[in-house]
Structure 1
Amino acid sequence: MKPRYERPGVPGGTTFTCFTRRDKAFGFAWHFHQEYELTLITVGSGTRYVGTSVEGYLPGDLVLLGPELPHTYASGERSEAAVTQFRHDFLGAGFFDLPQFAAIRSMLNESARGLYFGGARQELRAEIASLPRLAPAVQTVRLLGVLQCLAADGVASPITGAGYAAAPSSAVRDRVDVVCRYLQEAHTEPVVLDEVAALVHMAPTSFSRFFRRAIGCTLTDYVNQLRVETACRLLTTTALPVTEVAARSGYRNLANFNRRFRELKAMQPSQYRAAHQVQPVKPAGLR
């Protein structure tokens, strides 16, 4: 139930790994590793989980994740991503301490919360997508250039909330990850505090304090993130009425659904559907 620790392999002839990930679908595989990870989605859409953040992604989604930040991508369709993983010293110990790389050093520090580059230029995204196809020496030079461009453009925004920080101990992190994995699967059903607290052998009151202190938001806030993201996916990929979207997302009260949706997306569900010009597919059995 806890996130899997990964140790990415490094090909011979280089000091970092750069590859294209292709799958019929990205399955939920909660994990973390000691490497920074730069990921560009090139094909497919789904949900991105980083720390306590739950957000949808589309082709062009570009993020930089710091070491030991739990994350995963989940989709129900063919997906592809250009992924680069590297350690802080992949260019040598102290390399990023040099004064000319101050901007990159600052960006790497900020990536502890994850960074989303929504305004990155299309040319830069194309450069990142091409990295896996290059020879190691050229890859290294291009990657350094990409990092400098991302740091200099100033288009990054943090992914996780201001209250989030990597858990200070493996015991704390394991508890949080047990709960997050459970909620990813169960959030469309009623979520009972006592039952969630029991997963990590804590009293409900103690668990509530623990959860907020560990990840920077309440259990209710996190569940609402999961439910609203599920609603967003249904709104843009089906023709279900909003009332049915609310029910399938875990909301038994339409007014509460509309209120929570506005809080997180700054618009009504119907406005969100209209703003995302995805041709809806009517679910089987719906007339």
Structure 2
Amino acid sequence: MKPRYEQPGVPDGTTLTCFIRRQEAFDFAWHHHREYELTLITEGTGTRYVGTTVERYRVGDLVLIGPDLPHTFTAAPYATGMAAAVVAQFRHDFLGPGFFDLPQFRATAALLTRSAARGVRYTPAPPAVHALLADLPALDPAAQTLGLLDALHRLAHDATGTPITGPGYAPTPGTAIRDRIDTVCRHLEHAHTHPVHLAEIAALVHMSPTSFSRFFRRAMGRTLTEYVNQLRVETACRLLTGTTQPITEVAARSGFRNLSNFNRRFRELKRLRPRDYRAAHRPHDHD
């Protein structure tokens, strides 16, 4: 299966789309579209997939994703509460052809260029931008347009934005490449906690193991093993912060069969030991 191509509808009387996505859970729905997308998480936690990168997201996180950069957000159902985000989608010319070529918008144009190549994350969103975007869906079209421009201007001058994907990722790979990568990524979303065998993954896209290894590394900027380890570490993060399971059980449930390998891979990606990550990120009860 390939990433679903979305063609967001634009309401009459405006040139952008702004809405609240609120559900009991966010399902895996790998997709891309021609629009830029600003997504502000307002409720819940989960996993964000953008290009080659898999990482946890939390309330207050904001990402700007450029055109044709495949992405999805997943969140499991909550016992209480919902998964929710404010989403704004717009094309480069939503303010008219050449608007961002004006010299006073040079910084904003540079931000859009960065987001198109690798995406940009703010963790968390700058407070002023958070407030602007949270109110955006309730505004009339003119106010939405001004608010979005204001938010982009502020983000362009905020130094906390960092790239999401690795430098080796091409946001618009050919259709054949994207179809194969999609088939693999969707499969691994569910299978990464079990043993992953190169030959079986290669067979999904009708390639030999050797050819698939070269193909995957060229397309994703990392090896299959590195990608699977990333998925497993993000699953471990969810278990560490959402359960009281022992570290050994977290490692096993995340797909690691060796505790020392789990600790090593976790520190490589998170710069913390698993127990230190749990202490730093798990909410504490207060009397």
Q: Could you state the TM-score of these two structures normalised by the residue count of structure 2?
A: 0.95
Question: Is 1:131 matched with 2:118?
Answer: no
Partner of 2:247: 242
CA contact (8 A) 2:5 2:32 kept: yes
Q: CA deviation at 1:34?
A: 0.6
The C-alpha deviation readout for 1:174-229, integer Å capped at 9, x for no partner, is 11111111111100000000010111111111111111111111101100000000
**Matches of 2:68 and 2:16 in 1, distance apart?**
17
Partner of 1:95: 99
Structure 2: gaps spanning 5 or more residues: none
The C-alpha deviation readout for 1:75-118, integer Å capped at 9, x for no partner, is 11311100000001111111111111111111101002110012
Q: CA deviation at 1:119?
A: 5.4
Partner of 1:230: 235
**Matches of 1:182 and 1:214 in 2, distance apart?**
17
Partner of 1:168: 173
**Matches of 1:5 and 1:213 in 2, distance apart?**
23
**Matches of 2:265 and 2:211 in 1, distance apart?**
26
Query: Matched residue of 1:155: which SS?
Result: coil
Match of 2:85 among 81, 95, 98: 81
Partner of 1:18: 18
Partner of 1:213: 218
Partner of 2:126: 121
Query: Matched residue of 1:153: which SS?
Result: coil
**Matches of 1:167 and 1:31 in 2, distance apart?**
12
Query: Matched residue of 1:232: which SS?
Result: helix
Q: CA deviation at 1:20?
A: 0.6
Q: CA deviation at 1:16?
A: 0.7
* Letter aligned with residue 84 of structure 1: A
Report the identity percentage. Answer: 66
**Matches of 1:119 and 1:9 in 2, distance apart?**
28
Structure 1: gaps spanning 5 or more residues: 281-287
